[in-house]
Chain A
Amino acid sequence: MTHISVKVDGTTYEDDVEPRLLLVHYLRDRLGLTGTPIGCDTSNCGACTVELDGASVKSCSVLAVQADGSEVTTVQGLAHDGELTALQRAFHEKHALQCGYCTPGMLMAARDLLREHPHPTSEEIRHALEGNLCRCTGYQNIVRAVQAASEEEVPA
């Protein structure tokens, strides 16, 4: 067991974990933060994407011990006081989700993109979301949503 201290969505957690425990399982099974889902076991689908110290990562590809001393933001930490982010609002308004399983990962990946490129073209959005798979939307409305969010002044 290894001791870790991780700040997740604003709360600091102190835990002893097995060194092999994946960050996504730590979030889901130990912290009960089940907003981040798991879609595959090969890091292809991107459903489990979270933010680790400000950069989006697939939380199935990170060990919990690697997050020691870090700050993690999940989809559950995006809205504040019930106020949705521009991206969340845009996903809702543009019908950028159907079953919603890929949505947390899409939101986190898109957030990373908009931080780096506040006004991306649709090509750039498609490229940035290449590691996040969706089976319902055909991606078009996701691209529209990210574009719409990029046009807002409010940070993503």
Chain B
Amino acid sequence: MTDQAVEPEVGRARPRKEDARLITGQTNWTDNISVNGLLHMAILRSPMAHARIERIDVSPALDRPGVIAAFSGGDFAEVLGSLPCAWPVTEDIVLPDHPAVAVDEVRYAGDPVAVVVARDRYAAADALEAIEVDYEPLPPVLDLEAALGQDAPLVHSGKGTNRCYVWPLKTGEDFDSVRQRAEVTLKRRYHQQRLIPNAMEPRAVVVTPLAASGEYTLYSATQIPHIVRVMMAVVTGIPEHKLRVIAPDVGGGFGSKLQVYGEEAIALAVARRLGRPVKWTESRSEGYLATHHGRGMIQDVEIAANRDGTLLGLKVDLLADMGAYLMLVTPGIPILGAFMYPAIYKMGSYDFTCTGVFTTRTPTDAYRGAGRPEATFAIERVMDELAVELGLDPVELRRRNWIGHEEFPYTTIAGLTYDSGNYEAATEKALALFDYDKLRAEQADRNHRGDTVRLGIGVSTYTEMCGLAPSRVLRDLRYAAGGWEAASIRVLPTGKVEVVTGTSPHGQGHVTCWSQIAADVLGVPFEDVEVVHGDTKAAPQGMDTYGSRSLVVGGTAVHHAARKVVEKARKVAAHLLEASENDLEFTDGVFSVKGSPDARKTIQEVAFETFSSHDLPDGMEPTINAEHLTDPDNFSYPHGTHLCAVEVDTETGQTRIRSYVSVDDVGRVVNPTIVEGQVHGGIAQGIAQALYEEAVYDDDGNLVTGTMADYLVPAAPDLPDFVTDRTETPATSNPLGVKGVGEAGTIASTPAVVNAVMDALRPLGVHDIRMPCTPERVWRAVREARR
């Protein structure tokens, strides 16, 4: 080791450690796992949205070649409890029983009704056709407003209502009185269409039982192995200490794998019953029906302001589609959004009510931003409408209302305390990169000429709520789990380091970033750090990965654990160097005595000393390993400004993104390359919601967009090059200063794009278009306006 200063790892644009495996096909996806005697499971699903099961006979399937067993709902009802909902947002929430396999009634197209187990996947799929089911159709429940009507058919007849819960948040001055004194009020209704997550890796489950000891290993393509373990212990009755959950390589999640799925419970039950390993892998089309969906909301928004643009208050009435059942955090998703409608703006009144509604559709749950994109969309759309009403530039209206950078920490009307931010700086940078004034001039010119291709400019100044979450806040929100995260660090005898993290990555690059964080604190080379994750045996504690919490909470835990290692090592080094701990400096992995730089011990030498344990301080355990559980003090609040310019062909309805600029402030950046990549992916999804994607159901409740051929996942030609940049305002709530980035792009981009489309078409008399703004919808809106 030399005394040359080492360049800090945090902040470096490191290519990822993860890539070597992934670019050579040496992957460990759940579906890759094979063991001797493996059986394949296939699931028969309801072809109807709502029906009573009059009769079901699985026995004909047993006659098919290769079939080992077949089960119907009754077989599982005896051994599996209800699938869990961990977020009962109100005391009087309606919590229906949720069987992993339907017993007497199906409630969405795709609801499992029977299970076949066979020697190979083709045989299992074939045998499903032999199962006989008689359905008595029941009326589907599809319209959120009609579902709340007096005579609406019921999704869960025993519950007497389709209203799952009503959750209010009213703060500040009463909105009715604000409305009366406001100089301007605007009311708008926005629809958040249902989205289908489409993580590239379909879900998959493998269970290997060890009958003699009653132990089970569950491999699952999941974001949350630790939570799945707890929940599966509850649902299946397999004791928690006998259940090991492994999330191997996981090919994307986006919230859709933040779930406790019936198939995981079914596979455990089947493996237990048969004493054989089983595998289930969903086909993409099956996933469209059976993997939870996202969004699905109607937002009635009312904003009150003065003529000078000063915001006075906001009222939001939200109808949220729960789908047929409450999954792990279904009811809580719109509640996460509840806090974000006031966004970065100052106002004196906020009146929010969310009504959760059951429908006979696939359950909804967390998806890319989870409640926050929806909230940001509504506020950023209505801000644009208000700007039009007031004759103000949309950026100027925002500027007049946002929290000034000198006002942080700032407690919003929704009760959140934003620790830091600088909205002006991010916006100024974005406007400069975008060449805002020049584009406005071109727009005016095109409008003046009556060009058939119109230019529109959309802005979105967003913030998000990351780093889920302080456990006490979660308690107040009635969320069952805590928000802490765990890390432990093992310094091996040779000086190599294992970082054990409770977060469970699926593409975000935790291995690289956690290595960077640990390398800096410990003063060891980046290459000497390995990261252990995603296995409840190897990484026993954790709250897993979702909601942009991994870096903010999990990364912070790694930082603290590494600090503890250094403090333990300092004791050993002081002893070995016969110096006082206070006299030791620790730089780039070397303890040295102040004033005597030759008296030194590297942290690797200290690690070996604890291994040999020949000469440790009295009473000291022979280890410098350490663990830390971090419970955050606050959420973190990244923010930024996204600007989008679109060209809309008024003859064809086609929208083309002409340019897209984002400036995000995610606090301190651990790895700029990874941050940029996360932003890109997020923007792509936000654009997809604005222009392309929608889960469409017909009047009978069938999913019309039931395959990848029918649901438009954008491909490379559908998306532009993005210009991304950053400002950096460190978070004050964690020692790294990080804020989280995973969802920023998704949250910001949808309103930026739709605002741009509306900006292009408003001069033609078009006032709103429902997402996605497909060519047909745009074309119809233009035609309608011309009439």
Give A contacts to B, CB under 8 Å: 18, 20-21, 25, 28-29, 32-42, 44-45, 47, 74-76, 78-79, 84, 88, 91-93, 95, 97-104, 107, 122-123, 125-127, 129-143
Contacts of A141 in B (CB 8 A): 676-677, 680
Q: Which of B19, B120, B683, B715 contacts A92 (CB 8 A)?
A: B19
Contact in complex: A75, B507 (CB < 8 Å): no
Within B1-35, the residues touching A (CB, 8 Å) are 15-16, 18-27, 29, 31-32, 34
Contacts of A95 in B (CB 8 A): 15-16, 673-674, 676-677
Q: Is B310 an interface residue (CB 8 A)?
A: no
Q: Which of B121, B684, B707, B715 contacts A42 (CB 8 A)?
A: B707
| One of B194-202, B384-392, B463-471, B648-656 at the interface | B194-202
Q: Is B249 an interface residue (CB 8 A)?
A: yes
Lowest 4 A-B CB distances belong to which pairs? A35-B25, A99-B507, A100-B22, A101-B251
Q: Which of B24, B31, B122, B285 contacts A78 (CB 8 A)?
A: B24
* Distance in angstroms between the alpha carbons of A43 and B18 in the assembled complex: 27
Contact in complex: A34, B27 (CB < 8 Å): yes
Q: Is B239 an interface residue (CB 8 A)?
A: no
Contacts of A42 in B (CB 8 A): 284-285, 707-709
Contact in complex: A44, B709 (CB < 8 Å): yes
Contacts of B121 in A (CB 8 A): 25, 29
Contact in complex: B23, A99 (CB < 8 Å): no
Within B84-122, the residues touching A (CB, 8 Å) are 120-122
Contact in complex: B198, A130 (CB < 8 Å): no
* Distance in angstroms between the alpha carbons of A93 and B162 in the assembled complex: 52
Contacts of A143 in B (CB 8 A): 716, 721
Contact in complex: A92, B716 (CB < 8 Å): no
Within B708-730, the residues touching A (CB, 8 Å) are 708-709, 713, 715-717, 719, 721-722
Contacts of A41 in B (CB 8 A): 283-285, 707
Contacts of B23 in A (CB 8 A): 75, 84, 88, 91-92, 97, 100, 103, 107
Q: Which of A35, A92, A137 contacts B27 (CB 8 A)?
A: A35
Q: Which of B20, B34, B681 contacts A98 (CB 8 A)?
A: B681
Q: How many residues of B contact A (CB 8 A)?
A: 58
Q: Is B254 an interface residue (CB 8 A)?
A: yes
Contacts of B719 in A (CB 8 A): 138-140
Contacts of B716 in A (CB 8 A): 125-127, 129-130, 132, 134, 139, 142-143
Q: Is B630 an interface residue (CB 8 A)?
A: no
Main secondary structure of the interface of A (DSSP, over half): loop
Contact in complex: A99, B252 (CB < 8 Å): yes
Contact in complex: B684, A35 (CB < 8 Å): no
Contacts of B199 in A (CB 8 A): 99, 101, 135
Known interface pairs A132-B715, A133-B713, A135-B199; 11 further A-B residue pairs with C-beta atoms within 8 A, sorted by A's residue number = A34-B29, A35-B26, A40-B202, A40-B708, A91-B23, A98-B681, A131-B715, A135-B198, A139-B684, A140-B721, A141-B680
Contacts of B685 in A (CB 8 A): 135
Count A-B pairs with CB separation below 8 Å: 185
23 pairs across A/B with beta carbons < 8 Å?
A: A25-B121, A35-B25, A37-B29, A38-B202, A39-B201, A40-B708, A41-B283, A42-B708, A44-B713, A45-B284, A76-B25, A84-B24, A95-B15, A95-B677, A98-B678, A99-B251, A100-B23, A103-B23, A129-B715, A134-B200, A135-B684, A138-B719, A139-B715
Within B459-511, the residues touching A (CB, 8 Å) are 506-509
A78, closest chain B residue (CB): B24
Contacts of A78 in B (CB 8 A): 24
B201, closest chain A residue (CB): A101
* Distance in angstroms between the alpha carbons of A146 and B34 in the assembled complex: 34
Contact in complex: B251, A100 (CB < 8 Å): yes
Contacts of A129 in B (CB 8 A): 715-716
Contacts of B507 in A (CB 8 A): 98-100, 136
Contacts of A20 in B (CB 8 A): 122
Contacts of B708 in A (CB 8 A): 40, 42, 44-45, 133
Q: Is B250 an interface residue (CB 8 A)?
A: yes
Contacts of B506 in A (CB 8 A): 99
Minimum C-beta distance from B193 to chain A (A)? 18
* Distance in angstroms between the alpha carbons of A42 and B283 in the assembled complex: 10
Contacts of B254 in A (CB 8 A): 135
Minimum C-beta distance from A90 to chain B (A)? 10
Contacts of B676 in A (CB 8 A): 95, 141
Within B495-537, the residues touching A (CB, 8 Å) are 506-509
Contact in complex: A100, B18 (CB < 8 Å): yes
* Distance in angstroms between the alpha carbons of A127 and B199 in the assembled complex: 22
Contact in complex: B283, A93 (CB < 8 Å): no
Within B672-714, the residues touching A (CB, 8 Å) are 673-674, 676-678, 680-685, 707-709, 713
Contacts of A140 in B (CB 8 A): 680, 719, 721-722
Contacts of B20 in A (CB 8 A): 92
* Distance in angstroms between the alpha carbons of A80 and B109 in the assembled complex: 48
Minimum C-beta distance from B204 to chain A (A)? 10
B685, closest chain A residue (CB): A135
Task: Name which of B202, B283, B719 has the most chain A CB atoms within 10 A of its CB.
Answer: B202
B199, closest chain A residue (CB): A135
Task: Name which of B20, B27, B676 has the most chain A CB atoms within 10 A of its CB.
Answer: B27
Minimum C-beta distance from B723 to chain A (A)? 10
Minimum C-beta distance from A99 to chain B (A)? 3
B509, closest chain A residue (CB): A98
Contacts of A21 in B (CB 8 A): 122
* Distance in angstroms between the alpha carbons of A102 and B25 in the assembled complex: 11
* Distance in angstroms between the alpha carbons of A102 and B29 in the assembled complex: 12
Minimum C-beta distance from A35 to chain B (A)? 2
